[in-house]
């Protein structure tokens, strides 16, 4: 399931990110690519070990950790700290799949990548091309979101960033290990949780049907969660 998560960062935060990034030297994006994806990856990245990368990553982790829609859709167990990339004219990242297991930088801890995240830091009108294209069972989806919005999608998907023909595209990217590994199960839980939230607004938290559905939700979490 593909989810558009709006307003993860505020306009003021996006502006701060962009201004701070303009003061840093970017490196070749192949430094974090796998063996196959390195052949089709043509972009730039903030160095993983740069203090700014750590600072901005922390801001994003705090933001998604407080975003109800992200938490409902991802059911996160752990998150690999965000990285940052930039695409300028003629740069692209051809069709590829993300590594199933990734190491958390600065540690020996490894996580399973259930979900991929792209947090857009450039407005769509700032660049031509640069669409995030994701393949699922319904075909290909081209995505360009407003700055500050995030796209959450299964890491099992083939995806690409099309070539930039004009302007510059800046984004953050990271991965989530979910408590619920299966995408179909996560989707069922998401729909159930959203229905519960709507019913709470209409009927109140103490309504018996709200309590029954909440009980069902937590029992399904007990059944499917891996900790």
119 Cα distance to chain centroid: 6
Specify the pLDDT at position 167. 98
**In a shared domain, residues 131 and 217:** no
Number of Cβ within 10 Å of residue 214's Cβ equals 16
Mean pLDDT of 156-174: 97
Number of Cβ within 10 Å of residue 47's Cβ equals 15
Specify the pLDDT at position 186. 98
**In a shared domain, residues 145 and 50:** yes
**Judging by beta carbons within 10 Å of its beta carbon (0-12, 13-18, 19+), is residue 13 exposed, middle or buried?**
middle
The answer to whether residues 52 and 24 touch, using CB atoms and an 8 Å cutoff, is yes
Specify the pLDDT at position 159. 97
**In a shared domain, residues 156 and 72:** yes
The answer to whether residues 91 and 44 touch, using CB atoms and an 8 Å cutoff, is yes
> Does the pLDDT at position 33 exceed 80?
no
Mean pLDDT of 205-226: 97
Burial 103-124 (b: 16+ CB within 10 A, else e): eeeeeeeebbbbbbbbbbbbeb
**In a shared domain, residues 54 and 161:** yes
Domain hosting residue 191, numbered range: 183-224
Read off the tokens for 175. Answer: 């991965």
Quick: pLDDT tens for 100-131. Answer: 999 988 888 999 999 999 999 999 999 999 99
Read off the tokens for 169. Answer: 């595209």
Specify the pLDDT at position 34. 64
Say what percent of the chain tops pLDDT 90: 90
**In a shared domain, residues 33 and 9:** yes
Band (39; pLDDT cuts 50, 70, 90): confident
Last residue of a domain, one of 140, 159, 178: 178
Q: At 164, which CATH number?
A: 2.60.120.620
**In a shared domain, residues 111 and 207:** no
Quick: pLDDT tens for 90-107. Answer: 999 999 999 999 998 888
Band (32; pLDDT cuts 50, 70, 90): confident
> Does the pLDDT at position 51 exceed 80?
yes
**In a shared domain, residues 104 and 164:** yes
Read off the tokens for 181. Answer: 């590994």
**In a shared domain, residues 20 and 95:** yes
Q: What is the mean pLDDT of the chain?
A: 95
**In a shared domain, residues 140 and 220:** no
Read off the tokens for 133. Answer: 């294209």
Q: Name the nearest CA neighbour of 1 among 171, 89, 163, 115.
A: 115
- 208-224 vs 183-203: helix axis angle to the nearest 10? 160
Separation between Cα atoms, residue 94 and residue 99, nearest integer Å: 15
> Does the pLDDT at position 154 exceed 70?
yes
**In a shared domain, residues 189 and 161:** no
pTM (two decimals): 0.94
**In a shared domain, residues 100 and 189:** no
For residue 11, give the DSSP letter. Answer: H
Q: At 191, which CATH number?
A: 4.10.860
Q: For the chain, how many structural domains are there in total?
A: 2
Specify the pLDDT at position 37. 72
The answer to whether residues 133 and 142 touch, using CB atoms and an 8 Å cutoff, is yes
**In a shared domain, residues 155 and 208:** no
The dihedral region occupied by 39, where left means phi > 0, alpha psi between -120 and 50, and beta the remainder, is alpha
């Amino acid at each position: 399931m593909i989810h558009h998560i709006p307003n993860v960062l505020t306009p003021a935060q996006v502006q701060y990110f962009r201004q701070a990034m303009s003061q840093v030297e970017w490196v070749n994006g192949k430094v974090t690519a796998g063996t196959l994806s390195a052949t089709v990856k043509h972009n730039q990245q903030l160095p993983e070990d740069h203090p700014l990368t750590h600072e901005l990553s922390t801001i994003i982790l705090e933001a998604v950790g407080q975003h109800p829609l992200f938490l409902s859709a991802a059911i996160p167990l752990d998150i690999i700290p965000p990285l940052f990339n930039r695409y300028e004219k003629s740069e692209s990242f051809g069709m590829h799949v993300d590594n199933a297991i990734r190491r958390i930088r600065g540690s020996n801890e490894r996580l399973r990548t259930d979900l991929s995240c792209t947090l857009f830091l450039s407005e769509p009108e700032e660049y031509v091309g640069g669409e995030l294209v994701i393949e699922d069972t319904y075909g290909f989806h081209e995505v360009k979101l407003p700055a500050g919005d995030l796209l959450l999608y299964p890491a099992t998907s083939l995806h690409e960033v099309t070539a930039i023909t004009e302007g510059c595209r800046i984004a953050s990217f990271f991965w989530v290990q979910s408590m619920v590994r299966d995408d179909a199960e996560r989707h069922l839980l998401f729909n159930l949780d959203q229905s519960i939230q709507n019913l709470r607004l209409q009927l109140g938290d103490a309504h018996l049907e709200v309590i029954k559905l909440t009980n069902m939700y937590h029992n399904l979490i007990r059944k499917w969660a891996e900790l």
